[in-house]
């Protein structure tokens, strides 16, 4: 009995150490990336650009990006449920937020999707269903964006906007089909 308890304790210590090490590696990687960018671009230029940005614009941007989780999470949860794996939406919220962060911070546009697949796997979803759910979620988001662009086309104003509206509309329709 005593050895079983010490074994469980060792596993918990190993898991905690593994999480701490992973977090530390991510932080160090981020710091190194920022340092490399600052070296190549120049820290004075970066600071000048940061000072030029108004905090209100940043606050609005963060609010808009954060509110999109209110649309993505229920959509993803519905897709998972349709595919036969019901996962509570609250468990998916963190995954969506972290996925958004990866999409914003990594040089690829699909790092967040990879994270969401990995997280869905942790929540008990089989790998093939996790991959399909994220791909379907991404595709449905693109479809909704196309439909939104088509719906908003009539409000493009000015003579120059009319030909552009037609091109955008035809491109969006072609993208849907």
Q: Report d(CA 46, CA 85) in Å as an integer.
A: 46
CB of 76 closer than 8 Å to CB of 133: yes
Q: Do residues 142 and 75 lie in contact, with contact meaning Cβ atoms separated by under 8 Å?
A: no
The confidence score (pLDDT) of residue 75 equals 92
Measured CA to CA, the distance from residue 110 to residue 99 in angstroms comes to 9
What distance in Å separates the CA atoms of residue 132 and residue 99, rounded to the nearest whole number? 16
Identify the residue with better confidence: 102 or 154.
Answer: 102
Q: What percent of the chain has pLDDT over 70?
A: 80
Q: Rank 46-50, 129-133, 143-147 by mean pLDDT and report only the highest.
A: 129-133
- Mapped onto helix, strand or coil, the DSSP state of residue 100 is helix
Instruction: For 81-110, write each residue's pLDDT tens digit.
Output: 999 998 988 889 989 988 888 887 776 777
Per-chain mean pLDDT for the chain = 80
Give the global pTM: 0.60
The residue-averaged pLDDT of 52-79 equals: 87
Mean pLDDT lowest for which of 14-18, 34-38, 159-163? 159-163
- pLDDT at position 130 is 94
Cβ atoms 103, 109 nearer than 8 A: yes
The pLDDT value recorded for residue 1 is 47
What local confidence, expressed as pLDDT, does residue 30 receive?
79
């Amino acid at each position: 009995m005593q050895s079983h308890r010490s074994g469980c304790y060792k596993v918990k210590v190993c898991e905690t150490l593994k999480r701490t090490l992973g977090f530390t590696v991510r932080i160090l990687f981020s710091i190194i990336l920022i340092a490399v960018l600052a070296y190549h671009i120049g820290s004075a230029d970066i600071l000048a650009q940061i000072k030029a940005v108004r905090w209100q614009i940043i606050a609005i941007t963060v609010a808009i990006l954060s509110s999109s989780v209110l649309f993505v999470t229920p959509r993803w949860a519905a897709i998972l449920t349709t595919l036969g794996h019901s996962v509570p939406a609250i468990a998916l919220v963190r995954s969506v937020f972290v996925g958004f962060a990866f999409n914003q911070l990594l040089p690829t546009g699909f790092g967040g999707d990879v994270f969401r697949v990995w997280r869905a796997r942790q929540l008990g979803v089989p790998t093939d269903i996790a991959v399909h759910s994220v791909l379907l979620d991404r595709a449905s988001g693109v479809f909704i964006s196309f439909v939104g662009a088509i719906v908003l086309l009539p409000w493009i104003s000015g003579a120059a906007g009319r030909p552009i509206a037609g091109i955008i509309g035809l491109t969006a329709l072609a993208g849907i089909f």
